[in-house]
Each structure stands twice: as C-alpha cells, then as structure tokens.
Amino acid sequence: MAVEVLMPKMGMAMKEGTVSHWNKQVGDLVSKGEVIASISSEKIEADLEAPADGVLLKIAVSEWEGVPPGTVIGYIGHPSEQIVEETAATATLEAAAPEAREELPAASTAMAPMAATPASSKEVKISPVARKLAEAAGLPLESLIGTGPAGRITKEDVEKAIADRETKQTVAPEDDQRAAVAGKETVEQLPVSGMRKVIASRMMASLRESAQLTITARADVTDLIAWQQKMNEVTQKEHDTKLTLTDLIAKATVLALQKHKQVNSAYLDERIHRYGHVHLGIAVALEQGLVVPVVRHAESVSLPDLSRRIKALAAQAREGTLGMEEMQGSTFSITNLGAYGIEFFTPVLNPPEAGILGVGAVQDTPVFVGEEVRRRSLLPLSLTFDHRVLDGAPAAEFLHTLRKYLEEPYRMLL
C-alpha cells in the first residue's frame, strides 16, 4: 500500500504550510530519510524527508500551494502500485448496487468534457496559487478553463490564459521598435507565501498600527574594539567563545534597557506593558527572509553566555532548525546591517515591541579630540520607537546611555 507524505506541523501556531520546492518528480526513486521537498510555514523553512523507500508515485500538492498540516501532499510506493484515495464519492460508490457501478464508465465519459469548460462564476474550483495569479493578472475567474480534476483551475491554466492574452494584443506599426525591445524583457511572477508572506503582513501591520519615529547617533567605539580584542584572549581560553562587536552591543543594549524600562515596553489593548525582563531579539538574515530568534532573560546571563546564545540561535536559524517558540516573545530587537556597509537606516518595529535598534557599519573618521585631530572608529546607531509609548526625550536618553556603555566599555562590568 502506498505511503502518504503529509504536510508536517511545524510549531503549535502553524495553520498552513507551503511546498516551496519539490526536489523529486513523479517516478523518481527515493530513499527513507532523503530530502524530497522544501516546506515553509510563517517564518520556518524546513526540509521534508521521505517516510519510506520507493518511488514518488504522485505529487498531490503543487509548489507554492498552501495546505493545512496533516494534508497528504504526495505518495510513495512501488512503481506498479495503485494509489487508493478514500473520498466521500468512493465510499458512496462502494455502497451502491452492482448495476450502478457498471454504469460508471458511461457516467465518467459524459463528465470528461466538463473539465475543459469555463468555470462557473458562482462556484469556481481553483487552487490557491492559481487564484493569486489570476487576481494579479486581472483575469476573471469565470473566463478560465480548468483542466485539473473535476474542472479545477490549475496554475498552468492561468499561465496559459495570460500567455494567450499577451499573444492576442496588437501593436501599432509606429511601436514596432518599442515592441521589439519589450519582447526581450522578461517578468518573473513569484507567489508571496511562507516566510515572505508573514514578513510582508507583519511589517505592513507594524507601520499601520504604530506611530514610528527614528532617531540616530554615532558612538565612538575605538576603545570598545580595543577592549574586545583584549577580552577575547580570556574568553577564548576560559569560556570557549569569541566576542563579536554584536555581542558587546547586545550586552550594552540590555544594560541600557534595564535603566530605561519605558523603551523595553509594548502597547497592547490600550495599555503600556512595561517589562522587567529583557527578551532580546537578534535579527538574522536568511536567503528566504529575516528571522528574529530571541535570547530570553538576557539580563540574567553573563557576557560569554550571551555571546554563546546569540551564536547558537543564529546557527539554528541558518540550519532551519528554529522552532516558533524560539522566535516569539521578544521585548526589544537589534538588527545589524553593518556587514553590508550600511550606515544609518530606518528599522521597522517588530510588533508589539516599542523599540528596535539598527546598527550600521563602523566608520574610521577624523575627529577632534581637544585641539588634535585623531582617527576614531564611529558606530552609526538608529533607534526606531513607538511614539505612543514614549516621546523623543526618553528615547534620546536611552540612546545616550547606550552610547555611554559603548564608549566607556568598562561600565559594563560595574
């Protein structure tokens, strides 16, 4: 009997999973434990392993199609094996009289042409991906012809309709040269699903539902960088970890948040929730999008432990092994674009947090120190905060305290 390949449930809050990519096609040999597809859900990307040895007999869910967890997305079995899909129609047929079952071929023949007729405007059978493509292209659903099972409109049906429409468009003679150039242009339409869909909705909701303002400052981290190098001689030997500039910024941020708790807050249900603990979110950039794993109770861990936790969570994020519980509950976040040479930027709040710190690239700059011009290392800082929770002055005071810790790093030990 064919083995069902199910959409896994990745996290308690998962409501829908998407097949990002099928690594195998129908007829390909697969081994138990071999990766056969990539699955995405909200902010989690994961590999799906084959549950058994055999051949991929059928792909039941197309790429970029979203389905609830537990849905059968494919079947694995022997090459000659028949797939038995239990449906209400099948159960009814089995219970019918032999005479009724003998009439099935004629009924099936009569129904076959219906798969090639335009869909009804009242009840359109169409896959979620096909619906999105059709709506984006402005195609009326009732004008589409479905070639899928029972007349279901597939992604391929919509793509064909778009191509046919473009072919029928006429070009005026004076636009021949322009058309020749346009004919060389290609546009790739990518469905918004999985991680990208969640990021898009959360960021739009963040901008729509909060009063965001960004202030900036530069911190002189010349002494901090020198201090980091000296500290690493000890931390590598005694704590088996190497401190990064991000680790030190995170520690300074936690200390500053403890002194300015109004920044470590959230606006929820017409109330300001001010937190005594610091669950620090550290943004990690992945190929599929941005994730923000959370270091819980960052205020209670030492600098070496904070460094280890940040590195461990970043590694899990890149390996795709983060759970939803490890990306929820942050009270303040840090996002760092310094590796890309960016200086100041405007980070968007990670709801429902009241603050997020953007870190830019360190710039070596000539600075007046008394009457002398010296080379100093300046770090750009961008603080976005929710103006519903705090005003510009307390936000500036937080940034001032943070700069103090970064410019006089010995304060972190006091």
For position 10, what pLDDT does the model report?
75
What range does the domain containing 353 cover?
210-413
pLDDT greater than 70 at residue 92: no
Domain-terminating residue out of 91, 116, 145: 91
Lateral strand order in the sheet of 54-59:
3-6, 72-77, 54-59, 29-30
Query: 11: domain CATH number?
Result: 2.40.50.100
Same-domain pairing of 262 and 394: yes
Please, which pLDDT band fits residue 11 given cuts at 50, 70 and 90?
low
The residue with greater pLDDT, 331 or 164, is 331
Which residue has better confidence, 92 or 353? Answer: 353
Decide which of 91, 115, 134 is a domain's last residue: 91
Same domain, 176 and 233: no
Average pLDDT of the chain is 84
Three-class DSSP category at 77: strand
Question: Does pLDDT of 99 surpass 80?
Answer: no
Last residue of a domain, one of 91, 119, 144: 91
Residue 344 and residue 231 share a domain:
yes
Give the pLDDT score at 330: 96
User: How many structural domains are present in the chain?
Assistant: 3
Residue 264: enclosing H or E segment and its boundaries?
Answer: none
Q: Is 188 inside a domain boundary?
A: no
Residues 247 and 386 in one domain: yes
Q: Does some domain include residue 141?
A: yes
CATH of the domain at 274: 3.30.559.10
Residue 59 lies in a domain: yes
Residues in contact with 33: Cβ distance below 8 Å, sequence separation at least 6, in sequence order: 49, 50
Q: Is residue 54 part of a domain?
A: yes
19 burial level (CB within 10 Å; 0-12, 13-18, 19+): buried
Are residues 266 and 312 located together in one domain of the fold?
yes
Same-domain status, 345 and 230: yes
Same-domain status, 48 and 71? yes
Would you state the pLDDT for residue 152?
74
Q: Are residues 274 and 392 in the same domain?
A: yes
**Does the pLDDT of residue 197 top 80, yes or no?**
no
User: Are residues 306 and 266 part of one domain?
Assistant: yes
Please check the confidence at residue 103 and state whether its pLDDT lies above 60: no
The residue length of the chain stands at: 414
Q: Are residues 40 and 177 in the same domain?
A: no
CATH of the domain at 110: 4.10.320.10
> Where is pLDDT greater, at 253 or 108?
253
Evaluate whether residue 191 is within a structural domain: no
Beta strands in 107-241 (DSSP E): 212-220
Clarify whether residues 82 and 131 are in a common domain. no
- 111 with 51, same domain? no
At residue 90 the predicted structure's pLDDT band, cuts being 50, 70 and 90, is very low
* Residues designated as active site: 387, 391
Asked whether residue 57 is domain-assigned, the answer is yes
**Does residue 202 lie in a domain region?**
no
